Amino acid sequence: MQNDGNRGVPEIGNGFSDPDVRSPGEFNHAHIPGALSFPLFTDEERAVVGTLYKQESREVAIKKGLDYFGPRMRKMVEDAEMITQSGTDPSQKTILIHCWRGGMRSGAVAWLLSLYGFDVYLLQGGYKAYRQWVHEQFTKEYPFIVIGGYTGSGKTHLLDELKERGETIIDLEGLASHKGSAFGNIGMPDQPSQEMFENLMALEIFKKSKNAKALWVEDESQRIGAVNIPGDLFRKMSESPVFFLDIPFSERLDFIIQEYGSLSQEKLVNAIIRIKKRLGGLETRNAVNHLIDGEIKESFSILLKYYDKFYLKSLDKKNVLENKVVKIQLAGIHAKENADRLLAHVRHGANV
Given a cut of 50, whether residue 3 has pLDDT beyond it is no
pLDDT given for residue 91 in this prediction = 60
Task: Work out the average pLDDT over 322-335.
Answer: 85
The stretches of the chain forming alpha helices (DSSP H) are 24-29, 43-55, 58-69, 73-85, 104-116, 126-137, 155-164, 172-176, 194-208, 231-238, 249-260, 265-274, 276-279, 281-292, 296-317, 335-347
What is the Cα 317 distance to its own chain's centre? 24
Tell me the one-letter amino acid at 211. N
Name the burial class of residue 101, with classes exposed (0-12), middle (13-18) and buried (19+) by CB atoms within 10 angstroms of its CB: middle
The Cα–Cα gap between 231 and 224 comes to: 13
Structural fold of domain 140-347:
Rossmann fold (3.40.50)
Task: Choose, from 30, 35, 80, 99, the residue flagged as catalytic.
Answer: 99
Contact call for residues 202 and 138 (beta carbons, < 8 A): yes
Q: Does the annotation mark 99 as catalytic?
A: yes
pLDDT given for residue 310 in this prediction = 82
Tell me the one-letter amino acid at 125. G
Contact call for residues 95 and 80 (beta carbons, < 8 A): yes
What is the Cα 152 distance to its own chain's centre? 22
Name the burial class of residue 188, with classes exposed (0-12), middle (13-18) and buried (19+) by CB atoms within 10 angstroms of its CB: middle
Tell me the one-letter amino acid at 3. N
Given a cut of 90, whether residue 39 has pLDDT beyond it is yes
The Cα–Cα gap between 174 and 116 comes to: 41
The Cα–Cα gap between 64 and 81 comes to: 26
Tell me the one-letter amino acid at 266. E
List of residues 6+ apart from 351 with CB closer than 8 A: 323, 326
Task: Work out the average pLDDT over 163-178.
Answer: 94
Topology agreement, domain 9-134 and domain 140-347: no
The Cα–Cα gap between 348 and 341 comes to: 11
Cβ neighbours, 10 Å, residue 250 = 10
pLDDT given for residue 179 in this prediction = 83
Q: Which pLDDT band, with edges at 50, 70 and 90, does 4 fall under?
A: very low
Given a cut of 80, whether residue 184 has pLDDT beyond it is no
Domain boundaries, given as residue ranges, for the chain: 9-134, 140-347
Q: Name the strands in the sheet holding 242-246, side by side, starting at the edge strand that comes first in the sequence.
A: 215-218, 144-149, 242-246, 325-329
The pLDDT tens digits for 63-75 are: 999 999 999 999 9
Closest CA to 99 of 111, 91, 83: 111
Cβ neighbours, 10 Å, residue 271 = 19
Q: Which pLDDT band, with edges at 50, 70 and 90, does 318 fall under?
A: low
Cβ neighbours, 10 Å, residue 127 = 25
pLDDT given for residue 136 in this prediction = 97
Chain-wide mean pLDDT for the chain? 88
The Cα–Cα gap between 104 and 11 comes to: 23
The model's pTM = 0.88
Question: According to the CATH classification, is domain 9-134 in 3.40.250.10?
Answer: yes
The pLDDT tens digits for 102-152 are: 888 999 999 999 999 999 999 989 999 999 999 999 999 999 999 999 999
Residue 144: its H or E element: strand 144-149
